[in-house]
Structure 1
Amino acid sequence: RWAQNLWLDGRPYWGGLQMDEAALPILLVDLLCRKAPEAMEEPSRWWPMVRKAAGFLARNGPVTQQDRWEEDAGYSPFTLAVEVAALLAAAEIADEVAQSAAAMYLRDTADAWNDNIERWTYAIGSDLARQIGVEGYYVRIAPPETDCAASPLQGFVPIKNRPPDRSMEAATHVISPDSLALVRFGLRAPDDPRIVNTIKVIDALLRVRLPQGPCWYRYNGDGYGEHEDGSPFDGTGIGRAWPLLAGERAHYELAAGRRDSAEALLRVMEYSTEGSRLIPEQVWDAPEIPERELFTGKPSGSACPLVWAHAEYIKLRRSLRDGTIFDQPPQTVQRYVFEKRRCTIFTWRFNNKPRSIPCGKTLRLDLLSPAMVHWSFDGWQTAQDSNTWDTGLGVHVVDLPTEKLTVGRQIVFTFYWIKENRWHGADFSVTVE
């Protein structure tokens, strides 16, 4: 995997794990293979790198240790979108180098994670949903412990950069534009009712009107920015508007067929600069404080330039020229938007141990070491053994035939670790719902 950030000689600087950073290089390879095939030579040149990255995703996802803002762990809509898209892109490359078993597993995993995005991150019937007048919405991030809960309605997320007494919020109370990545990376259509609902919540809570047009905050309650009096961020503060997010919203508007809105948001990015024409991380969103050089709609004291924002601006320019999202992977759009592919398996792994499985699905156990699985449908009155198979990606898999079990039935299982020649010493169970 790639470290969170690096020194120029490649040594890691920060040790945080952001799963999107392991996935995005796969999507870059896929993009280059489609846009500049003459420069990419044979897929076999890139497969060793792609295999390592895809294997890392398969072994460690879908939960991320940090979201893209380098803050919280859990189920992030942005990270999930990138992971699923990368797994499908890697599967396509695997097919091209005759790695059919790996390709099949990567697609199965992508489908299984895609099927669970709403289970992990879409909150229905909350007080906020009722307040805004929508059925539900995607949350900013659902904490890792909700893998054993019914929905992200259960659980709290830490809010960084705020005083300790205000540093935790219910997961359903924290909203972010990050869920637009589900459209950007092709997992959901722009007119999907869940996306449309979330847009309403995003705009109600996170949109700010600036002289150059609308801009958005990272999430409600963000503390990363200057204080109210304009004094610098000192570990706490008030999050300000990010031009980057105007660019991301522009890509959504383009996908939704609203080109004029996308072009207007391009201008928001342009007019968020000063004489240098460098795009800042954040812009000042409050009354002007000239003595601190803080002017409404212009760069705050945050990083400038934010190269990430410049990259988004360049991609938006290209997308507007093409009339479509330049970096949107075609595999996800075809599979989930056009074909509306659903998954017949439901995955269980040690970093994601669901208590229940939807009726009609096969339970797949993803393990990091070869094992014999000892399992029973009748509370150990009878039992069977099944051996895992090697995906070639550092994951060992076994499918248990739960698809014909009726609601309320339970499967129990344990493991005999073959390399270590020992039993796991604990039982696990999953109930059909």
Structure 2
Amino acid sequence: MLAIADGERGHYELAARRDPLPFILALEGFSKAGGMLPEQVWFGDESSEHNCRRGSPTGSAMPLCWAHAEYLSLVRSRADGIAFERIAPAHDRYVRLRQQGSPFEIWTRTHQIGRVAAGKMLRIVCDRAVKVRWSTSDVTHGQLAFTQDGLDLCHVDVPTTGLAPGATLEFQISNGHNARLDFHRVKITPPHDSRFATDSVSPRVGA
């Protein structure tokens, strides 16, 4: 068994909000003279013939810097209460925001959602700078210009705050004063209604 795998499991336990101390102690138990950690330890049945004892080095590289680094990282992580090498942007996206839910619903020409949960921002993404005119069934309306981002895309955010479930939001996309307009419609659903994620509508194109 790779000694480093014990440290990786300790990091997993910490991420699951459990104490990784047993795995720290196990790594320390694998060490030999001078506190050196081996690359591999014997994890099978003991064999006196081959001098293999459970939890002892197998004769692989020792010391192994990789194993020592994993041990130090785990000790530091336990002291901090979070994984030392945790990447904050990745944790925010896949853990924190997944638990809280994204404040946006994304609409693109290839992903034309038909429903948006009340209170979420409808983000319309296009591959060029265009203008959006929008209106709702309660006569609210406005015009917004797209914002250029760093991915060679443009987007505009249309608010749904204040719109009641069942309301309809319509928007038109144009790229010039006399340009052809695309008409689209989305339905406002109750908060946390996930049906909009798979419900789409076909665009109505007009002159």
TM-score (norm 1): 0.28
Flag the structure with larger Rg: 2
Q: Which has the higher strand share?
A: 2
More helix per residue: 1 or 2?
1
TM-score, normalised by the number of residues in structure 2: 0.49
